[in-house]
Amino acid sequence: MKKAKKLLSLILVSILCLQYPIYTVSADTTINNIETNIEKGIEEQAPENVEIENVSVDITTQEVTVDASLDESSVNLDISLDPDTNYNQLTMTVNEDSADETYDVFFGSEEQKKLYDEALEKDNKLLSEIESTLPTEIINNTIELDDSDNIITETVEEQLTGNELEIDKLINNESFVISDVTTLENTPVILTNTQTNEDIVVESTDGVASWAFAIPIGIVLSKALISSLLYWGSAVVIGGVLGIALSKVSTDSRVRNKNYSHYKVVEWSGKLFSTGGISQKSAIARMAANGNVWSTTKAKAKTVASSASLLKKGKKTPIGPEKDKGKSGYYMHYHTNPRSKSKGHSFYGTPS
């Protein structure tokens, strides 16, 4: 049984590795063609004794699944974005012999993950403390939109003032940012079992024979998925975790989790990226801690800014909405009132 599983694993890794270059195609290649080519290639190149029952690739929703069986062994992998997780957006679920195992996928070294985990722990502690101080009236605060709101203009420097949360500080270190396919391929992958918290470290130079069954397939799929997003400028790996371009999140509801109206936002190289959905309570706490957030509507964004302002003992009516003067690709947003209460921004809408 174990030999059959390892053989199946190695065969599928070989197949998927052969298909990997399909992702790095010319810009005029349609997404449908890429998905079809990958699915067809996996099925056609599978040896006769390996049954490929189902292959599904959906780049738009960032999901890749594959079912395969060899003798009595079978495996199903599902690679997808999952903003519900507290740790990361990218998860890998392995369905093997009716037992599911889910892993958070981290791109980076063990040292980088250690620094990330420490920063995450500090941020979570700070945000939890802020959330615990939120009175009910602030949490339920709803601001009526005033049609007389004046749109104020500001400079680029004012709009993208850096955050002070620990994880956001890591972005200033170039070694924590992966924005191209080549760097991704040469980067280790760390899978964290969400049930046991155990890490599986796979160096880019490791041989597949040393990996657990199904793990190499998932890593190849994960890297192929992220590579496609990096190639089209739709994502960046920040501090080891995936950030989806806010321009994609804000304009395509299919990449948003329907359970959330607010999203964490980080800035890198003059662009904004979303690293997952959060509750209204968490959005208020994040902005109060000098962080950036994006909301699905103007009213929700105004409520977050107003609540953060009240929490910092400012005025109920936030400053804004504002937009950058004479620039494209920037978002309408609100500030606390006075704005000195927080460096954070409450963004909404699509890039102008």
pLDDT tens string 200-220? 887 776 654 444 556 666 676
Helix (H) or strand (E) holding 265: strand 262-268
What's the CA gap between 7 and 116, in Å, rounded?
35
Residue 352 has pLDDT above 80, yes or no: no
Average pLDDT of the residues of the chain: 75
Q: Which residue has the higher pLDDT, 209 or 32?
A: 32
Counting every residue, how long is the chain? Answer: 352
- Listed in sequence order, the residues at least 6 apart from 40 whose beta carbon sits closer than 8 Å to its beta carbon are none
- Residue 265 CA: distances (Å) to CA of 181, 271, 339: 23, 10, 18
Predicted pLDDT of residue 70: 66
Is the Cβ–Cβ distance between 76 and 56 less than 8 Å? no
- Listed in sequence order, the residues at least 6 apart from 49 whose beta carbon sits closer than 8 Å to its beta carbon are 70, 71
Instruction: Tell me the per-residue pLDDT of 254-279, one tens digit each, with 9 for 90 and over.
Output: 777 778 899 999 888 888 888 888 89
Is the Cβ–Cβ distance between 341 and 309 less than 8 Å? yes
Q: Is the peptide bond before 321 cis (omega within 30 degrees of 0)?
A: yes
Is the Cβ–Cβ distance between 83 and 277 less than 8 Å? yes
Q: Which residue has the higher pLDDT, 173 or 263?
A: 263
Mean pLDDT to the nearest integer, 80-86: 58
Query: How many percent of the chain have pLDDT more than 90?
Result: 14
Residue-range domain boundaries for the chain: 2-107+180-231, 111-174+235-348
Instruction: Tell me the per-residue pLDDT of 136-169, one tens digit each, with 9 for 90 and over.
Output: 877 777 877 764 555 555 543 444 444 578 887 7
**Global confidence as pTM:** 0.76
Helix (H) or strand (E) holding 167: helix 166-170
